[in-house]
Amino acid sequence: MKTVVETKTYNNFINNEWIASVSGEVITSINPANKEAIGYVQKSTEEELNQAVEAAHQAKKAWRKLGQAARGQLLFQTANILESRIDEIAETMTKEMGKTLPEAKGETARGIAILRYYAGEGMRKDGDVIPSTDKDALMFTKRTPLGVVGIITPWNFPVAIPIWKIAPALVYGNTVVFKPASEAAVTAAKVVECFAEAGFPEGVLNFVTGSGSVIGQGLIDHPKLNAITFTGSESVGQSVAKAAAARGIKFQLEMGGKNPVIVTKNANLDQAVNEVINGGFRSSGQKCTATSRVIVESEVYHEFKQKLVEASEKITVGNGLEEDVWMGPCASESQFNTFKNYIEIGKNEGARLIHGGEVLTGGEYDNGFFVQPAIFEEVSPDMTIAQEEIFGPVIALIRAANLEEAIELANNTKYGLSASIFTTDISSILEFIDEIEAGLVRINAESAGVELQAPFGGMKASSTGSREQGEAAKEFYTAIKTVFIKGS
Ligand SMILES: NC(=O)C1=CN([C@@H]2O[C@H](COP(=O)(O)OP(=O)(O)OC[C@H]3O[C@@H](n4cnc5c(N)ncnc54)[C@H](OP(=O)(O)O)[C@@H]3O)[C@@H](O)[C@H]2O)C=CC1
Ligand SMILES: O=C(O)CCC(=O)C(=O)O
């Protein structure tokens, strides 16, 4: 059953009030399946940004003093409200950025689970007792919030990523200014509505939409901001890091990936094919954990390739709201152009396109950003399509003589987010776990697939080394006070 999703204008949420920007201008959010407007958000100015940061700054003391348990209760409340709106919010996500409805529902359900996980943190310890060398003293650590946290998110997981940043920020006692990606800001506004309805005190969560260069950059540069967390492109991430480091505030970045999958000669090839397709083409390949390079041992290369192409031919592409559609459109015109560009680069550099890569035309395809997933072979390690993050449904097949060479090829990029191996050999598994340069190491499983209770993040240029989600979030969103007490 489809819900009715209204096309309306969403305001900023500042100090618990929904307020329009003084600019009088809005940004239109477009459905990539048919180019229709699905809603409008504020094209905010520095004035609203300043109001939001000031509100968060004013709210931080009372919010910290409310205590962790009470803060957790508000997250439970938010989870229940989001759960009651799961169908509508998932449908909005599909309409706004194209992923299929089951994927959007799965992501929204994950958002609810993340809220409940961090709500539970409200009742967990916020420090440790440590023995002092002075037998008459009590020494312990106490976690304390950072203050005002800025949150900048991308469009590819418009529910899960904002929630996995906002929920721990709030439960550990920070106040928040959240700037979503413009391309998925309507979905983000609906998530914020759930927080708003839960009844957080004024100024605790603030939401400001607008361009990355004005609101995103202005947020990072704001003197009252105490920390910033960002997920998105490497180029913007690096400028976030520079600005934050220059001001001496804590920062956390999650950026790109060029995630490899290794298939060894003794792998279960049917399982490998299935998971490579899921990892490479689900969400139209627009995940930082998406599979983009598949390195196959020579003995099974031809059999694997044949099975992969056969399975890819069965993929149905269309509007993600339709039941029989497996892959939706690219999320935007810009993603669509990026896909087309990399297909041309691949061909021009001498890789062989053995499946897909075309823009789909005719009927509903003419109205949206639909492409056929692509598989290249004869990809050499130095080619652009073997090195740069494409963020689209493109897989590069690379042949390796043995496991050692496969791991060397896998590590031969600047990124290190996620990596998988398909094999039945325990020694190969152990070697892979030891040698692979990736934050997420997956055995006989697709390269994507993040679990909310486990640390998430990459090595090398994929992140700043810190981890999000699970207990790891506490490390970023808090500072430690070491307390030493002695009687007088
Ligand atoms: N690691 C990941 O999960 C993601 C990686 N990417 C990669 O980035 C490419 C481009 O996607 P895109 O959406 O443009 O990614 P961006 O990095 O440009 O956008 C991510 C977020 O940063 C904001 N932003 C943009 N410019 C600035 C700035 N100067 N200062 C502060 N914030 C800013 C954006 O706002 P606004 O939307 O208003 O521009 C958005 O909220 C993709 O093709 C993909 O390769 C993209 C998304 C997620
Ligand atoms: O694979 C996932 O579930 C999350 C990936 C992610 O964080 C991203 O693509 O930005």
Q: Per-residue pLDDT tens for 141-172?
A: 999 999 999 999 999 999 999 999 999 999 99
Active site residue 91: no
Ligand 2 lined by 289 (C-beta under 6 Å): yes
Q: What is the pLDDT of residues 467-484, one digit of tens each?
A: 999 999 999 999 999 999
Q: What is the pLDDT of residues 170-192, one digit of tens each?
A: 999 999 999 999 999 999 999 99
Q: Are 360 and 235 found together in one domain?
A: no
Question: Given a cut of 70, is residue 3 above it in pLDDT?
Answer: no
Flag whether 267 is in a domain. Answer: yes
Q: Which atom of ligand 2 is nearest to the CA of 107?
A: 3
Confidence tier at 7 by pLDDT (50, 70, 90): confident
Flag whether 377 is in a domain. Answer: yes
Which pLDDT belongs to residue 288?
97
Which pLDDT belongs to residue 370?
98
Confidence tier at 194 by pLDDT (50, 70, 90): very high
**Percent above pLDDT 70 for the chain:** 99
Which pLDDT belongs to residue 108?
98
CA of residue 362 to ligand 2 center, whole Å? 32
Mean pLDDT on 404-408: 98
Q: Are 389 and 420 found together in one domain?
A: yes
SS3 332: coil
Q: How far apart are CA 41 and CA 405, in angstroms?
A: 50
* Strand ranges of the sheet holding 12-14, from the earlier edge strand across to the other edge: 17-19, 12-14, 205-207, 175-179, 148-152, 227-231, 250-254
Ligand 2 lined by 450 (C-beta under 6 Å): yes
Ligand 1 lined by 212 (C-beta under 6 Å): yes
Q: Which atom of ligand 1 is nearest to the CA of 219?
A: 31
Residues 6+ apart with CB under 8 A from 227: 146, 147, 148, 149, 150, 174, 249, 250, 251, 252, 476, 477
Provide the ipTM.
0.96
Domain count, the chain: 2
Q: Are 278 and 427 found together in one domain?
A: yes
Looking at residue 77, which CATH number applies to its domain? 3.40.605.10
Per the prediction, the chain carries an average pLDDT of 97
Q: Are 219 and 276 found together in one domain?
A: no
Flag whether 455 is in a domain. Answer: no
Q: Are 42 and 91 found together in one domain?
A: yes
Confidence tier at 375 by pLDDT (50, 70, 90): very high
Question: Given a cut of 70, is residue 413 above it in pLDDT?
Answer: yes
Flag whether 452 is in a domain. Answer: no
Q: How far apart are CA 423 and CA 296, in angstroms?
A: 11
Ligand 2 lined by 114 (C-beta under 6 Å): no
Flag whether 4 is in a domain. Answer: no
Ligand 2 lined by 249 (C-beta under 6 Å): no
Mean pLDDT on 117-126: 96
Q: Are 170 and 200 found together in one domain?
A: yes
Confidence tier at 5 by pLDDT (50, 70, 90): low
Which pLDDT belongs to residue 142?
97
Mean pLDDT on 117-133: 97
Pocket test for ligand 1, best of 214, 236, 289, 389 (most atoms within 8 A of CB): 236
Note whether 424 and 291 are within 8 A (CB).
no
Q: Which residue has the higher pLDDT, 5 or 315?
A: 315
Which pLDDT belongs to residue 465?
85
User: Among 103, 107, 254, 468, which one carries the catalytic annotation?
Assistant: 254
Flag whether 2 is in a domain. Answer: no
Q: Are 296 and 248 found together in one domain?
A: no
Q: Are 373 and 467 found together in one domain?
A: no
CA of residue 157 to ligand 2 center, whole Å? 7
Which pLDDT belongs to residue 6?
67
Q: Are 350 and 412 found together in one domain?
A: yes
Mean pLDDT on 214-220: 97
Q: Output DSSP code: residue 3.
A: P
Q: Are 240 and 272 found together in one domain?
A: no
Residue 251 domain boundaries: 9-255+462-486
Q: Which ligand is nearest to the CA of 110?
A: 2
Which pLDDT belongs to residue 391?
98
Flag whether 1 is in a domain. Answer: no
Residue type, 413: T
Q: Are 431 and 289 found together in one domain?
A: yes
For atom 45 of ligand 1, the residue with the nearest CA is 391
Q: Are 189 and 330 found together in one domain?
A: no
What's the start-to-end Cα distance of the chain, in Å? 69
Pocket test for ligand 1, best of 183, 233, 234 (most atoms within 8 A of CB): 233
Work out the widest C-alpha separation in the chain, in whole angstroms: 83
Note whether 456 and 417 are within 8 A (CB).
no
Mean pLDDT on 93-102: 98
Question: Given a cut of 60, is residue 1 above it in pLDDT?
Answer: no
User: 195, 184, 196: which is closest to 159 by C-alpha?
Assistant: 184
Looking at residue 365, which CATH number applies to its domain? 3.40.309.10
Flag whether 299 is in a domain. Answer: yes
